[in-house]
A = this chain, B = another copy of it.
């Protein structure tokens, strides 16, 4: 035997494609959350196919299960092909950089080595030889910055003493011409068949007549018995003429411990242009001695194999933020804070539902701007704004979607400027703006304006029916009437926010009138409370005994402008949106009953907390309270009487109400009610004076 030296193996090299990190990010954010359970992954490699470059072990997007359910339902290996032999791996993705750094790497690699050893001992390697190249990855994914810290280990069982190599030469030199030709044919056949193409370890049998066949590992005993020349072949990722690649290490361990061979001839199979390349492939003879320890069934060999980063034994880091398309990055970043909520604080958060909810904002002023921002922050994608004004110089300081730029040259339409601003914050928003006025009772329609007003009514009808939630954010009482009626009629969720000088009210309107309520009769009574319907929550108008009317004419400048404490609008807007989020998460949705302060046990049943009907607050007292008020059967906006009449006469009814708000009072019986109340007061006063002695 020639002089022998210690056999040196060329380490495996890893390569991770961006797709892997993207799928990992999505898996972590959407499914894993805080769960640090190791994840089964699949690496891919093939034989070296280039004289100067070794093959890498690749991680691709399909290296990860698309979701964990998928992974658990199938324990099968991902299907590979001739250039992508699937190799099982384990991913340890940590929640923090500190725990990434703190992982016990020695213990992790030993754990994988143990698996490999057990698979060798159990014979499983013969059935699924790729497990010999089992690997592991530890990682920490900073989903906020799109940077990934990671470290591969390719565990190699340590032979003790080390394997020696007595010969190592190009296969073309080792085989005679005929053998070589036959080997090439056999290898190309092996690589062509879908059954064997992705099987990286195999037996090479050379008969005395120089005929070469390849056989799967499970045939090792038969082959050994046959007495033919036997080589152990493997797909070698390494390109070096001087060294075999890393997979040979565990292959040698398998051969010596399982086949009890101590003088092992091996073939490092390499290719060129998709065909066997025997000048490039190597054949060598390894001398191993089976240590005594290995015979102890409890024994597990030592393992090495943490990948180097350049010359250092250190983890790697990749920053994808710089290479990603900013728009795409923004889209994925948008959901980050929300998805993180589901990890711990709010697992039941239904982001799909939010993202599918279409919101219509009536008014793009102080409230509308802030509500739109809040909606985006909650992951709402579809936001439509209606306003009929232009951005004026005094707006940007309180209306958070506008800047000075929007005020120049007479000012842009608010609806347009708001949409532009929303898109500059988050390009993924589907925002639309409409510029038209909401028709209002008490603002009579001139004959020549009728067509335009009818058109506005129809636009509003259409917008309300094509959205799920309607926010009433205008600055007059009467502009909320038609939207309230239309939302009740279409049974859409309506949320009102309204401001005083230092107080606010935020409320959800009750679910719309049901079909069987249509002919509800009512008795005249002077108490509003008796007239309230117990089943439905009230609307913005349910506490009023007069119809909405023109409140804008003849108002002084401080009454026309938003003279409110600046803090009010952000508070009321935030509460309006938070209320909506709660309703969308309630099993009964907009039909959820109005709740007051809850006991602890109740609040725990709804993870977002209680669902009030109204929230009223005062900045001068820094106080806030929740209220429940039921609907009023003579309400000028949401009562059955009004809705039925609207259903019967549609826009003709609306125009009549716009021109004559008193008509609404007559229709609902409010006129009669107030007359009775007045006469009652009168009677009582008379009694009070004439019968004064009886009182005494």
**Shortest CB distance A581–B (Å):** 8
Binds B, one of A52-60, A217-225, A391-399: A391-399
9 new A-B pairs (CB below 8 Å) besides A144-B392, A609-B620? A321-B410, A330-B407, A340-B561, A345-B502, A374-B567, A377-B566, A405-B424, A502-B608, A612-B622
Q: 8 Å CB contacts to B: which residues of A327-349?
A: 327, 329-330, 332-334, 336-337, 340-341, 343-346
A27 touches B (CB below 8 Å)? no
Contact for A393 among B329, B378, B581, CB less than 8 A: B329
CB distance from A394 to the nearest CB of B (A): 4
Query: Does A426 lie at the interface of the complex (its beta carbon under 8 Å from any beta carbon of B)?
Result: yes
**A393, B571: Cβ atoms under 8 Å?**
no
- The answer to whether B408 touches A558 (Cβ under 8 A) is no
Q: Bits for A558-586, please: 1 = Cβ < 8 Å to B, else 0.
A: 10111101111011011101110100000
Q: Give 17 A-B contacts (CB < 8 Å), ordered by A residue.
A: A96-B554, A143-B557, A326-B407, A329-B407, A330-B404, A332-B393, A340-B558, A341-B501, A374-B567, A374-B570, A404-B427, A566-B578, A578-B619, A597-B621, A597-B623, A610-B621, A623-B625
Within 8 Å of chain B (Cβ to Cβ): is A14?
Answer: no
Contact with B along A177-206 (1 / 0, CB 8 A): 000000000000000000000000000000
The docked-state distance in angstroms from the alpha carbon of A566 to that of B577 is 9
Contact between A610 and B620 (Cβ–Cβ < 8 Å)?
A: yes
Give me the interface of A with B, judged by CB distance under 8 Å: 34, 95-96, 98-99, 142-146, 321-322, 326-327, 329-330, 332-334, 336-337, 340-341, 343-346, 370, 373-374, 376-378, 392-394, 396-398, 400, 402-405, 407-408, 410, 424-427, 501-502, 553-558, 560-563, 565-568, 570-571, 573-575, 577-579, 581, 597-598, 603, 608-610, 612, 615, 617-626
When the two chains form the complex, which single residue of B427, B562, B577 contacts A337, counting CB atoms closer than 8 Å? B562
A566→B377 CA distance, assembly (Å): 6
Q: How far is the CB of A374 from chain B (nearest CB, A)?
A: 6
A343 touches B556 (CB 8 A): yes
Query: Which residues of the partner chain B approach A562 to less than 8 Å between Cβ atoms?
Result: 337
**Inter-chain contacts of A400 with B (CB < 8 A):** 373, 400
A394 touches B95 (CB 8 A): no
A618-B622 in contact (CB<8A): no
CB distance from A414 to the nearest CB of B (A): 14
Residue of chain B at shortest CB distance from A390: B145
CB-CB under 8 A from A621, the residues of chain B are 597-598, 603, 609-610
A571 CA to B576 CA, complexed, in Å = 12
Contact A396 B425 (CB under 8 A): yes
Instruction: Say yes or no: A578 contacts B567, CB within 8 Å.
Output: yes
A342 → chain B, closest Cβ, in Å?
A: 9
A393-B333, A394-B337, A621-B603 known; A98-B553 Cβ under 8 A? yes
Select from chain B the residue with minimum beta-carbon distance to A624. B624
Residue among A34, A396, A402, A603 with the highest chain B CB neighbour number at 10 A: A396
A598 and B579 CA atoms in complex are apart in Å by 28
The reply to whether B563 and A341 form a contact with Cβ atoms under 8 Å apart is yes
Q: Is the pair B144, A557 in contact by a Cβ cutoff of 8 Å?
A: yes
Other-chain contact of A565, B424, B554, B578, B620 (Cβ < 8 Å):
B578
Which residues does chain B contribute within 8 Å of A145, judged by CB atoms? 392
- In the complex, A98→B568 CA distance in Å? 30
Q: For A340, what are the chain B residues with a Cβ–Cβ distance below 8 Å?
A: 557-558, 561, 563
Chain B: CB-nearest residue to A326: B408
Smallest Cβ-Cβ distance to A373: which chain B residue: B400
Cβ of A625: which chain B residues have Cβ within 8 Å of it?
A: 623
Q: Known contacts A341-B563, A397-B334; decide if A620 and B597 are in contact (CB<8 Å).
A: no
Do A567 and B560 touch (CB < 8 A)? no
Q: Which of these, B392, B615, B622, contacts A575 with CB under 8 Å?
A: B622
- Give CA–CA (A210, B238) in the complex, Å: 129
How many Å from the CB of A434 to the closest CB on chain B?
23
Q: Which 9 A/B pairs are nearest by Cβ-Cβ distance?
A: A609-B620, A333-B393, A567-B574, A377-B566, A340-B558, A98-B554, A570-B570, A95-B556, A333-B394
Given the interface pairs A404-B427, A554-B99, the reply to whether A410 lies near B623 with Cβ below 8 Å is no
In the assembly, what is the distance between CA of A612 and CA of B99, in Å?
43
The answer to whether B374 and A403 have CB atoms under 8 Å apart is: no
Q: B426 to A398, Cβ gap below 8 A? A: no
Contact between chains at A425 and B404 (CB < 8 Å): yes
Inter-chain contact B334/A394, CB cutoff 8 Å: yes
Contact A561–B392 (Cβ < 8 Å): no
Contact B403 A425 (CB under 8 A): yes
Indicate if the CB atoms of B336 and A394 lie closer than 8 Å: yes
Determine the distance from Cα of A370 to Cα of B373 in the docked complex, in whole angstroms.
12
Q: Name, among A143, A394, A408, A424, the residue most crowded by chain B CB atoms within 10 Å (CB to CB).
A: A394
User: Which residues on the B side are within 8 Å of A424 (C-beta)?
Assistant: 403-405
The reply to whether B623 and A624 contact each other, CB–CB distance below 8 Å, is yes
- CB A419 to nearest CB in B, in angstroms, measures 14
CA distance A377 to B366 in the complex (A): 11
Q: Most chain-B Cβ atoms within 10 A of its Cβ — which of A396, A570, A609? A: A570
Contacts of A618 in B (CB 8 A): 609
Q: Do A345 and B578 touch across chains, with their CB atoms under 8 A apart?
A: no
> Judging by beta carbons under 8 Å apart, are B617 and A624 in contact?
yes
Q: Once the chains are docked, how many angstroms separate the CA of A344 from the CA of B502?
A: 13
Residue pair B397, A377 in contact (C-beta under 8 Å): yes
- Taking the nearest CB of chain B, how far is it from the CB of A338, in angstroms? 8
Could you tell me the distance between the alpha carbons of A387 and B243 in the complex, rounded to whole angstroms?
Answer: 54
